[in-house]
Amino acid sequence: MNKFFSNRRLVIVIVCLIVSFGLMSVSVAIRNKRSTPPLIQQFGNDVVGLVNRVVAWPVNGVKGSVTAVSDLLNTYQENQRLKSQIQELAQTKVHDQALTQQNTKLKKELKLSHTLTDYTAVNATVIARTPSSWQDQVIIDKGSAAGIKKNMPVLSGSGLVGRVSEVNRTNSKIELLSNSSESANRFAVQITNKSGSTVNGIVTGFDSNKNRIEMGNITSKTKIEKGDKVMTSGLGGIMPAGLLVGTVTATGTDNYGLASKVTIKPAADISNLSYVTVAVRQSQTTN
């Protein structure tokens, strides 16, 4: 041991430790403050991402054939379930169309161009996932060239799954809702109950044991029930309103018994992502 920690080696180890901590804190600071990473990092990530797509191609081929078999086995049950849903969907779709038309007409009369609910969708493919337990993060194949900016919300299938955390030219990183870091999943959301009154709040955490989103610090006395829908409120930042987050599964008080806490079942399957949609809000705010 004495021999291992000779003077020179000890100095090298300590210098390495200091450099490591320094680099980590600098990159975290850059990540929190700037909208894009430094140019060299962006360029490197773009090049690495390009080759990633080439390597991913055969792997996805294998995966495709595996899922094809399992899909085939589930076809009958799925067909039954979908048939019952499709009746309802057709009606909703027509109704939705009528409402959209009415909405645009009314907006025109009020001379409103874009409201908080308007967004354009950018579709992207997930090309890699961070192999780490501490950052639930995926990498998608669209970047600033497709109009993606940092902090934009990301949807998959029926609901919100996370937000953009780093943007390069041709790829970007998405922090998932399940990320346990302190800044990852703070979304401004609102719950509308059966009688029509809304409660505003912020997503405060994720319970990975039960796969549930937690929403805390609610001081409103409005009654929230199981099954109420939770959606983004569009307040603050570049998040559009009306993106489905999930449904309420339980309500209660937080650990101190002061504010109430709502447990939400995510609408999208966060652990299984292949294609995602980035929602680009059209109405701009000054912040």
Question: Residue numbers of the site for another protein (CB under 8 A)?
Answer: 16, 19-28, 31, 37, 41, 44-45, 48-49, 51-52, 55-56, 59-60, 62-63, 126-139, 165-166, 173, 178, 180-182, 208-209, 211, 271-274
Of residues 189 and 276, the one with the C-beta less far from another protein: 276
Tokens read off for 18 = 């200091």
Q: Closest distance between another protein and the C-beta of residue 271, in Å?
A: 5
Choice between 127 and 235, CB closer to another protein = 127
- 273, 126 contact by CB (below 8 A): yes
Q: Cα separation of 192 and 252, whole Å?
A: 17
CB of 260 to another protein, least distance (A): 23
> Which CB sits closer to another protein, 211 or 285?
211
Buried b (16+ CB within 10 A) or exposed e, 210-243: eebbbbbebeeeeebeeebebbbbbeeebbbbeb
Residue type at 81 in one-letter notation: R
Handedness of CA 128, 151, 197, 92 (dihedral sign): negative
Helices (H) and strands (E) in the chain, counts: 2, 12
> Of the two residues 26 and 121, which places its CB atom closer to another protein in the complex?
26
CA-only gyration radius of the chain, Å: 23
Amino acid at position 159, single letter: G
CB of 132 to another protein, least distance (A): 5
Nearer to another protein, 49 or 240 (CB): 49
The nearest distance, CB 223 to another protein, in angstroms, is 30
Burial of residue 32 (CB within 10 Å: 0-12, 13-18, 19+) is: exposed
Least separation in angstroms between residue 140's CB and another protein is: 10
**Smallest distance, another protein to C-beta of residue 228, A:** 24
Q: How far is the CB of 48 from another protein (least distance, A)?
A: 5
φ and ψ at residue 182, rounded to 5 degrees:
-70, -20
Q: Is residue 32 helix, strand or coil? A: helix
Query: In terms of CB distance, is 261 or 281 closer to another protein?
Result: 261
CB atoms within 10 A of CB 260: 20
Q: How far apart are the first and last CA of the chain?
A: 56
In DSSP terms, 280 is beta-bridged to 120
